[in-house]
Every structure is written in structure tokens, then in C-alpha cells.
Amino acid sequence: MSNQPVDQSRRTWVTMACAAGGVGGVATVVPFVSTFQPSERAKAAGAAVEADISTLKPGEMMTVEWRGKPVWIIKRSPEQLALLGKHDNELADPKSERKLEMTPEYARNEHRSIKPDVMVAVGICTHLGCSPSSKFTAGPQASLPDDWPGGFLCPCHGSTFDLAGRVFKNKPAPDNLEVPPHMYLSESKLLIGEDKKA
């Protein structure tokens, strides 16, 4: 991998993740989990990546790399799911209508995902490309509002996203996090980067 050209977007999110204590600093995060290993050239070209989510428990998140970008897979707990519908008035684009290309048709629903409990999103802030940090615990805490429902905080300029990757109002990030093309190969296997069966 070291002799591959460095993708600037990848450099940005890796750097920021480290600077912020990052995704690796959270006990529930398993960075770069992948059971499928396409060649480096295929990955750079955008080959789909397979992810085994069989061990992911409610409230946990894992990260896979696709096209040099972190893709988060979040298993939302029933409590987290219940909170999702309660802050639409605080979101900039609660129904993900602003840029339809950021949310595939099958994810344009109240939980922004194929299965209600499993969220898939590209973990790159839509402002300037930093990687937001997970802040899954609901309630008052530093840098977040008292009615925080759980989600993500971008360490660069303070944009916040809920657990469906939807951006809160009056923040620098203009759009919700991207939901990449994806599909289920089985109950516990996801394919990131493709959403049509061959």
C-alpha cells in the first residue's frame, strides 16, 4: 500500500481521526474490518468491499474502507432508534431531500437505511472532509446540546450529525453524510459499493 499514490481525502480523515482521539479511541469501534480483500488497484478503482456484521452488537459501530474512505456501519439499539424521530425540527435536511444522490432510494426513509437498526454512512464530514467522532451517549456533555440524542461531532468546526448521519441546523456542514451504495448478501454480510445483484 505504501507505494500507492496517496488519496488526499483519505489522508484527511485518517489524520483527523488520530488528532481527535478518533474512531480508534472508542471501545466499540473496530477499524477497517473487512473480510473481503480486493487488490489495491481494484480498491482504488472503487471495488465493492464485503463486511461481516455478525458480531456487531446494538450500540456498536465498525468501519470498513471503501474507495479510500471510511464507511461506518452502526448497529443502532432500540433506544437509539426511538430517539431518531424526535429531533427532525433541529435538522437541516431531515428527509434527505436536498441532495438525492447522497442517499440511495432504498435509504430514503425515517431511519435512512435498508434495515432500521443498521446504518451505513461514509464517515467524512460534508463541510471540509474531516472525520467526525462518535458521540453515541445521549444527554448533556461537553460541546453538545443538553438534548443530544447520540450521533457524531466533527472535531474541525463543530458540525453535528445524528445516528442516521443527518446534519443538525446552523452548522458549517451543508449536507447529511453520504449513504454509499450497499446491499445485503446475507443476514450478516453487507456489500459496500454495489447495490445491484449481478
Figure out which of the listed residues 74, 114, 173, 179 binds ligand FES, where binding follows CB under 6 A: 173
Candidates 84-92, 127-135, 137-145, 175-183: pick the segment binding ligand FES (CB under 6 A).
127-135
Q: Which of 156, 177, 179, 191 binds ligand FES (CB under 6 A)?
A: 156
Cell triple for 133 = 467522532
- Provide the minimum distance between the beta carbon of 125 and ligand FES in the complex, in angstroms, as a whole number: 3
**Cell numbers describing residue 41:** 488497484
Q: Where would I find the beta strands (DSSP E) of 53-117?
A: 61-66, 69-75
Q: Which of 21-29, 100-108, 124-132, 140-148 is the region at the interface with ligand FES (rule: CB under 6 A)?
A: 124-132
Q: With binding defined as CB under 6 A, does residue 159 bind ligand FES?
A: yes
Q: Does 154 sit near ligand FES (CB under 6 A)?
A: yes
Grid cell of 135 as nine digits: 458521540
To the nearest whole angstrom, how small is the minimum distance from the Cβ of residue 30 to ligand FES?
A: 23
CA distances from 90 to 85, 93, 167, 170 (A): 11, 9, 9, 9
- Does residue 127 touch ligand FES according to CB under 6 A? yes
Measured distance CA(190)–CA(183) in Å, rounded: 6
Scanning the structure block, which residue is given the C-alpha cell 435498508? Answer: 114
- Residue whose CB is less far from ligand FES, 68 or 181: 68
User: Cβ(44)–Cβ(63) under 8 Å?
Assistant: no
Residue with Cβ nearer ligand FES (23 or 48): 23
Report the C-alpha gap between 133 and 166 in whole angstroms.
Answer: 14
Which residues contribute to the site for ligand FES (CB under 6 A)? Answer: 125, 127-130, 154, 156-159, 172-173
